[in-house]
Structure 1
Amino acid sequence: MSAINLRLGAFAAALALLAATSSGALAQKKYDTGASDTEIKIGNIMPYSGPASAYGVIGKTEEAYFRKVNAEGGINGRKINFITYDDAYSPPKTVEQVRKLVESDEVLLVFNPLGTPPNTAIQKYLNSKKVPQLFVATGATKWNDPKDFPWTMGWQPNYQSEGRVYAQHVLKEKPDGKIAILYQNDDYGKDYVKGFKDGLGAKAASMIIIEESYEVSQPTIDSNIVKLKSLNADVFFNVTTPKFAAQAIKKMNEIGWKPMHILNSVSASIGSVMKPAGFENSQGIISSQYLKDPADAEWKNDAGMKAWNEFLDKYYPEANRVDAFVMYGYTVAQTLEHALRASGDNLTRENVMKQAASIKNLELGGLLPGIKVNTSATDFAPISQVQLIRFKGEAWERFGEILSGDVGG
Structure 2
Amino acid sequence: MLLTVLPAGLLAVLLAFTAACGSRLPESDFHDRGTPGESRSREPAGRAPVKVGIITSATSPVGGAAFTGPRDGARAYFRSLNAHGGLDGRPVRVVTCDDGGSGVGNNECVHRLIDEDKVFALVATTALDYAGAPRVSRAGVPDIGGQPIGAAYDTYPHLYGIYGSQAPRKGGEPGWGGTLYGGTEVYRYFKREQGARTAAVVFYNQAASAAYARLVMRGLKAEGYRVVPEEVDFALPNFQAVAADLRAAGADLVFDAMDTHGNSRLCQAMDRAGVEVTAKVTNVQNWSDAVPEDYRDAPACRNALWATGSSRNYDDTGQSAVHAFRDGMRGQPGGDTLSQWQLEGWAAAMWFTDAARSCGDRLTRACVERFMTRDAPYTARGLLLPVSFTPSPEPPKTRRACLSVARWSDDARGGAGGWTTQGGEMTDNCFTVPQLPYKP
2:221 pairs, out of 164, 185, 200, with 200
Partner of 1:156: 163
Alignment coverage as a number of residue pairs: 349
Q: Which moved more, 1:98-107 or 1:259-268?
A: 259-268
How many Å separate the matches in 2 of 1:155 and 1:90?
22
1:72 aligns with 2:89: no
Alignment deviations for residues 19-52 of structure 1 (CA, whole Å, 9 cap, x no partner): xxxxxxxxxxxxxxxxxx7122211111323414
**AA partner of residue 113 (structure 1):** T
Alpha carbon RMSD of aligned pairs, Å? 4.0
Tell me by how many angstroms 1:320 deviates.
1.8
Partner of 2:391: 378
Q: List alignment gaps of at least 5 residues for structure 2.
A: 1-46, 166-179, 393-399, 411-416, 436-440
The equivalences for 1:55-94 within 5 A come to 55-94=67-106
1:338 aligns with 2:354: yes
Tell me by how many angstroms 1:282 deviates.
0.6
Aligned-residue identity in percent: 17
Partner of 1:39: 49
1:352 pairs, out of 368, 373, 381, with 368
Q: Which moved more, 1:187-196 or 1:91-100?
A: 187-196
How many Å separate the matches in 2 of 1:144 and 1:39?
27
SS of 2:96 mapped into structure 1 = strand
> Does the 8 Å CA contact 2:141/2:158 hold for their aligned counterparts?
yes
**AA partner of residue 151 (structure 1):** H
Partner of 1:32: none
SS of 2:307 mapped into structure 1 = strand
Q: 1:344 to 1:213 in 2, by over 3 A?
A: farther
Partner of 2:237: 223
> Does the 8 Å CA contact 1:87/1:97 hold for their aligned counterparts?
yes
Q: 1:251 to 1:46 in 2, by over 3 A?
A: farther
Partner of 1:303: 320
The equivalences for 1:200-279 within 5 A come to 200-201=221-222, 207-210=227-230, 223=237, 225=239, 228-229=242-243, 231-232=245-246, 234=251, 235-240=253-258, 245-246=263-264, 248-250=266-268, 252-253=270-271, 258-278=276-296
**AA partner of residue 51 (structure 1):** V
1:182 aligns with 2:203: yes
**AA partner of residue 70 (structure 1):** N
1:397 pairs, out of 417, 420, 436, with 420
> Does the 8 Å CA contact 2:210/2:257 hold for their aligned counterparts?
yes
**AA partner of residue 237 (structure 1):** F
Q: 1:359 to 1:109 in 2, by over 3 A?
A: farther
> Does the 8 Å CA contact 2:284/2:307 hold for their aligned counterparts?
no
Q: 1:407 to 1:165 in 2, by over 3 A?
A: closer
The equivalences for 1:115-134 within 5 A come to 115=127, 117-119=128-130, 121-134=131-144
Alignment deviations for residues 191-232 of structure 1 (CA, whole Å, 9 cap, x no partner): 78636624532857x625256797xxxxxx872746744654
How many Å separate the matches in 2 of 1:276 and 1:308?
24
How many Å separate the matches in 2 of 1:154 and 1:92?
22
Q: 1:352 to 1:227 in 2, by over 3 A?
A: farther
How many Å separate the matches in 2 of 1:189 and 1:69?
44
> Does the 8 Å CA contact 1:181/1:238 hold for their aligned counterparts?
yes
**AA partner of residue 342 (structure 2):** V
TM-score, normalised to structure 1, is 0.69
TM-score, normalised to structure 2, is 0.65
Q: 1:348 to 1:406 in 2, by over 3 A?
A: farther
SS of 1:267 mapped into structure 2 = helix
1:286 pairs, out of 306, 309, 316, with 306
SS of 1:118 mapped into structure 2 = coil
**AA partner of residue 110 (structure 1):** L
Alignment deviations for residues 364-397 of structure 1 (CA, whole Å, 9 cap, x no partner): 4562xxx643424437xxx963233332322333
How many Å separate the matches in 2 of 1:386 and 1:222?
36
2:120 pairs, out of 94, 108, 125, with 108
Larger-Rg structure? 1
Tell me by how many angstroms 1:72 deviates.
2.2
Partner of 1:135: 145
